[in-house]
Structure 1
Amino acid sequence: MVKKIEKILGIISAILLVILALIVTLQIFARVLTISVPWSEELARQALICLTFIGGALAYYRGGELKITLLIDLFPPALRKWNDLIISILSIAITIVVVFSGIKFLGDIWGSPTVALQLNKGIFFITIPTSFLLILIKLYKNIIGVVKPKEL
């Protein structure tokens, strides 16, 4: 399941990156030709927001989360295991707060249209709780990996 989620996140991130590159390219050509494309800046911003959260979840799935392991590398394996468990539990707590805050935020902005595109803002910001829910799945999997003894 984790590999499937990682693959889907990768595909979505690639699509968003292509959309963002195309929109920015369009903006550049439009400015050179002194043509106004009022929706392009807003769509680029919304694509970047989505890419940030989906890409962040993808980075977490690929092990790209920020870690400072200078001291932890000196710990004996048993202590490292406890450290990983505590960090995963704290990360779950923080992630749950972000998920619920993201859901509350969605409730506040849902139905509110974007300025130029006149699309529901919630469509773009739904990536906040969604990406953190996906991170929560990976954190749960990490805890299971730490707690469950490896078979010989």
Structure 2
Amino acid sequence: MKAISEYYIKVVDNINNVVGYVLAAFLAIMSITIFWQVFSRYLIGTSIPWSEELARILMLYIVLLGSALALRKGQLLAVEVLPEILQKKNKSRLKLFVNLLSLFFYFILLYYGFTLAESVSGQRLPGLGISMFWFYFALSLGGFFLVINAVANILEDAKEVRS
């Protein structure tokens, strides 16, 4: 079991590295798109109809995928009053409980995000002309990455509780 959990954690961390590069590319594309939109609107006098939609979609993916990376690295915003007053063993137990509870909500995001994406798949974004599915798919994709990162955290927390 120990080898499987270590292998899983290593695979998740490798996936997170790739996701980090994808997020960097999304941020670069979004920044260039917004810069070009502002430049073209105020200096050239024409507007790019699809730039706002693309920036909005990329921002949604950046937030949701970035949340999964922040979860794995323990960098999500948290109020840590209770963990600060607990002893190390109980602090690990609390962390494990919080990750298990959070996992439940990540599954909800994954499931209902995909359900929502499917329900709007027949609609199109007017500027880009692509299906609204891809806009709402960010919810389920973010939920998926939150789930796999939460499981990796749970495996590490369980190891701390046992020791």
TM-score by length of structure 1 reads: 0.90
Root-mean-square deviation (Å): 1.4
Q: Is the 8 A contact 1:99 1:129 kept in 2?
A: yes
Q: Which region of structure 1 is more displaced relative to structure 2, 45-54 or 93-102?
A: 45-54
Q: 1:64 aligns with which of 41, 66, 75?
A: 75
Q: Which residue of 1 aligns with 2:26?
A: 16
Structure 1: state its 5+ residue gaps: none
Q: What code does the residue aligned with 2:38 have?
A: I
Q: Which region of structure 1 is more displaced relative to structure 2, 11-20 or 104-113?
A: 104-113
Q: In 2 relative to 1, CA 147–55 (structure 1 residues): closer, same or farther, beyond 3 Å?
A: closer
What displacement does 1:63 show?
A: 1.8
Q: Distance in 1 between matches of 2:123 and 2:59?
A: 19
The 3-state SS of whatever aligns with 2:50 is helix
TM-score by length of structure 2 reads: 0.85
Q: Distance in 2 between matches of 1:21 and 1:56?
A: 19
The 3-state SS of whatever aligns with 1:127 is helix
Q: Which residue of 1 aligns with 2:3?
A: none
Q: Distance in 2 between matches of 1:108 and 1:142?
A: 32
1:36 aligns with 2:84: no
The 3-state SS of whatever aligns with 1:134 is helix
Q: Is the 8 A contact 1:27 1:40 kept in 2?
A: yes
Q: Is the 8 A contact 2:68 2:149 kept in 1?
A: no
What displacement does 1:40 show?
A: 1.3
Structure 2: state its 5+ residue gaps: 1-10
The runs of 4+ residues in structure 1 deviating greater than 6 Å are none
More helix by share: 2
1:120 aligns with 2:131: yes
Q: Percent identity?
A: 24
What displacement does 1:123 show?
A: 2.0
Q: Distance in 2 between matches of 1:126 and 1:68?
A: 30
Q: Is the 8 A contact 2:117 2:135 kept in 1?
A: no
Q: Distance in 2 between matches of 1:111 and 1:4?
A: 35
Give the count of matched residue pairs. Answer: 150
Q: 2:15 aligns with which of 5, 25, 28?
A: 5
1:47 aligns with 2:74: no
Q: Distance in 2 between matches of 1:96 and 1:70?
A: 27
